[in-house]
A and B are shown apart, each in its own frame.
Chain A
């Protein structure tokens, strides 16, 4: 099925080329290309340069210091690696939990009827709200809200200091991120599930496969394309984690919830080591690239084509 469509696409694009020539194609891509280079490529190249300087973000001359910033980060900055570890730990929890839950939600809600539509809407709404607003709402829930529930019920879970205890605060951040994003991944999984041809599922049913076997042997292998996308999105979200931290915990208590992105922000805009922060962001960028390439390689291999 997929082969057919790619063939059709190739044929179509060939026609396009012969009909209008490359100049037309260029005309279509150029605006996007210009925009991307203005907001991404050029700033990135400037960042490469500032990574080699000592600059406070205000002064008119940035002092060139060679690889000093990189040396400092690699050998003399334990906070960067502490926060890197936080981001990786957060990533592990977040990616696993959010993907399992959103897939479960998708399996429960992919058939179209009134109840599932309502369910999908409920799960998707948090994704539409801004992260800052969500963090503020949760700040209220976790502090006064949980406190009131605790006083009424006496359940220890609600009596915990959700934002004041370093260990618990970590799970609070995971909880909120998962809650907000389930809807997004659920939609991708639902799209994948709808695309599974019903004849295969019927054939499996006739052959006597139960719901469990159908999921593991048919649905999951055919969903691998969605899994690749969802893993990619969730890993990059986890690594970039910033806004919840800024609003909800400010990296605290005692730096327990400081993500790499927040560490870089602090270095640049609170400590005014703009050059150092830039170097950190470049190291971070390289690590992200490596992680996503590895992930794409692994999951791509498992994708099944019909």
Chain B
């Protein structure tokens, strides 16, 4: 139903795109008219948030009330924002402020991005967040929005009901948990194996044991320092995939993210691979669900089980915008003001990149559950992966899950993806 709604909305958005052409022209006209007389500045903001949208708009209204000369026009696009943004750029309608995925997606827009170097805003953000910005040519071309963590999600009630008190940290402990669940007739896994991005995210958990610095691993794979077959613990991925098939549903490859999350909250399965960003979705599927986050075991060493954490979205200011100063002011407001931080923590359900949190508590219990593993949390590797690899790993792992290929062939195929980029 939700998917259906989102498609419906996407269709409506497409329609509105046609209408937007005229609208943009109109606002452009009164923009020049009013800014000439020094009255009102219009900012266009392209937002990617899927949750807390109404509260975001309320926050924007508050900003407008505090800055009566600025009018912010927000466009929320939760699906396929990359294509929309490229389309806007190529029709000369790049918004004044726009959100992009951390990593390659942001770097692609470097030549249009305003340089934040030396801006006082940067001092108000955490260093670990700033490390994820677009640092092309040593500049600061984007500012980080908020932190998200991914790992294994588990249904606490199902674990408790089946007498599992210790969370597994090694692959054999994970197998023992699966067997215990199976003995009680409980399906252990329902991973969203239909989604190529979920399988890719899963695979990155088995790449970080090599080195906690994701850029180093990615760079090493590109220049040949590392290879997939010798990458530490990468073969563990296939052991876990085996478990996911053996103790998973009958038709594992039919599970998309929605089915996977629904199965988890309804207790139809005990564990899935996902991140804390799905908290609001889980709540909407079943408000009573009791879900926690646990480490992803990658070997027989409990210290080599990790969570991955990163800033997933960056804010960019269009450097060719007529109102760069106002745009930066708005970005500062979203990221560091009290209403902005409140929005991240109470309505969006993520950990803001600002140092000051004004004593708010994060509603997202998954995020706080992940925070317990701070010393076993590393930066996400997927944002350092080349796009071709990111899109190519999923189908290769699906082929393995279907029994079309062997572990060795699958690893070689993933190596070939990296090689094709390195050429």
A residues in contact (CB < 8 Å) with B: 56-60, 130, 132-133, 136, 143, 161-166, 247, 250-255, 266, 269-272
Contact = CB atoms under 8 A, between A and B. Distances in A.
B197 to A, nearest CB: 10
B167 interface: no
B194 A164 contact: yes
A109 B313 CA distance: 57
A136 B108 CA distance: 33
B21 to A, nearest CB: 14
B111 A163 contact: no
Given A57-B86, A252-B398, A255-B395, A161 B111 contact: no
Interface stretch (B247-255, B273-281, B359-367): B247-255
A56 B391 contact: no
A161 B7 CA distance: 24
Given A252-B253, A254-B402, A269 B82 contact: yes
A165 B399 CA distance: 10
A13 to B, nearest CB: 37
24 contacts: A56-B108, A57-B86, A59-B111, A130-B11, A133-B7, A136-B3, A143-B251, A161-B251, A163-B194, A163-B253, A164-B253, A250-B194, A250-B195, A252-B395, A252-B398, A253-B194, A253-B395, A254-B395, A254-B399, A254-B404, A266-B391, A270-B387, A270-B391, A272-B387
A59 B395 CA distance: 29
B83 interface: yes
Given A252-B395, A254-B404, A255-B399, 5 more contacts: A161-B250, A164-B251, A165-B253, A250-B195, A254-B395
Contacts of B391: 266, 270-271
Contacts of B82: 269
Contacts of B259: 143
Contacts of B108: 56, 58-59, 272
B4 A253 contact: no
Contacts of A59: 108, 111
Interface in B377-423: 387-388, 391, 394-396, 398-399, 402, 404
Contacts of A270: 387, 391
Interface residues of B, number: 31
Contacts of B83: 269
B109 A166 contact: no
B158 to A, nearest CB: 22
Interface string B1-26: 00110010001000000000000000
A135 to B, nearest CB: 9
A252 B391 CA distance: 12
A58 B89 contact: yes
A163 B254 contact: yes
B184 interface: no
Contacts of A60: 111
B196 interface: yes
Given A58-B89, A132-B11, A163-B194, A253 B251 contact: no
Given A252-B196, A271-B388, A58 B253 contact: no
Contacts of A165: 253, 402
Contacts of B4: 133, 136
A262 to B, nearest CB: 12
Nearest to B405: A254
Contacts of A164: 194, 251-254
A132 B12 CA distance: 13
Contacts of B254: 143, 161-164
A266 B391 CA distance: 9
A251 B387 CA distance: 17
Given A57-B90, A132-B7, A136-B7, A253 B387 contact: no
A255 B250 CA distance: 20
